[in-house]
Structure 1
């Protein structure tokens, strides 16, 4: 029997092996953070409808103190600029973007391929993708 409170993990998630810096800059200018009420306990200034509707089993932005849309937008762009995007970023908006905030890996997922809008959430520490992103984030920050 599957535990409904445990987050589903997509084993197909993969980092892009090396997105060109020009493409990173181009994407970073176009991505937009819109949020999702299921990842919020505190609605902050996100303007969501409903403002907050945390769902059991969903990780919350509140757990990493993200309450402002501008901060979430900056983090999304930072992840893109660092090239921490999924392998499908060459031909459109990447399905996933990752960044590290307050020592936690945040995953942003594309909601609308045409508009480049994203919502995000912290990954659980035992998610294998968190280790992959942490290692790559640290490596890229020292380059």
Structure 2
């Protein structure tokens, strides 16, 4: 697996409180998580075609355990409502949304704005610095 660039300015969480709760609610209503086959080892209930198509250069979201669509969508929504988003780009859409599951695993969802559908993946060992950063922000916003 190749290492993603983690020093990109847009791969940072917006400052806490810089986006209103009403705006975060509006984002949660407008944006959606879909998932893609290139980040799956287990097809689960995603209905992907092909069912799975993991690439060696992609981080699978379900590397540790299967992650059903409802659980992934719930994590995505939690991240949105907690303000765990990157700065807005085209059309008021953040490129990244982050969330942490109950086991402390960090997930990153990504889109190509102005698209409003996201796919996600777990941040693995090649992303230790980014994982620490997201865990720190998550602990401040979701105590």
SS of the residue aligned with 2:120?
A: strand
Among residues 5, 12, 32, which one is paired with 1:9 in the alignment? 5
Point out where structure 1 has 5 or more consecutive residues left out of the alignment. Answer: none
> Who is 1:139 aligned against?
140
1:74 aligns with 2:70: no
Contact 2:12 2:86 in 1 (8 A): yes
In the superposition, the TM-score normalised over structure 2's length comes to 0.86
Q: Structure 2 vs 1, CA of residues 88 and 39 (structure 1 numbering), >3 Å: closer, same or farther?
A: same
- What's 2:88 paired with? 88
Q: Secondary structure at the match of 1:108?
A: strand
RMSD: 1.9
The runs of 5 or more residues in structure 2 that have no matched partner are none
Q: How many residues align?
A: 137
1:1-143 aligned within 5 A:
5-12=1-8, 13-17=11-15, 18-88=18-88, 92-101=92-101, 102-111=103-112, 113-114=114-115, 116-127=116-127, 128-142=129-143
User: For each residue in 1:16-48, what CA deviation from the matched residue of structure 2 results, as whole angstroms up to 9, or x when unmatched?
Assistant: 113211111111112211111111111011111
Tell me the TM-score normalized by structure 1. Answer: 0.86
- DSSP-derived class of the 1:119 partner: strand
Shift in alpha-carbon separation, 1:49–1:90, aligned structure 2, 3 A: closer
Distance in 2 of aligned mates of 1:98 and 1:66 = 19
Per-residue CA deviation, residues 120-140 of structure 1 (Å, 9 max, x unaligned), is: 001124522211110010111
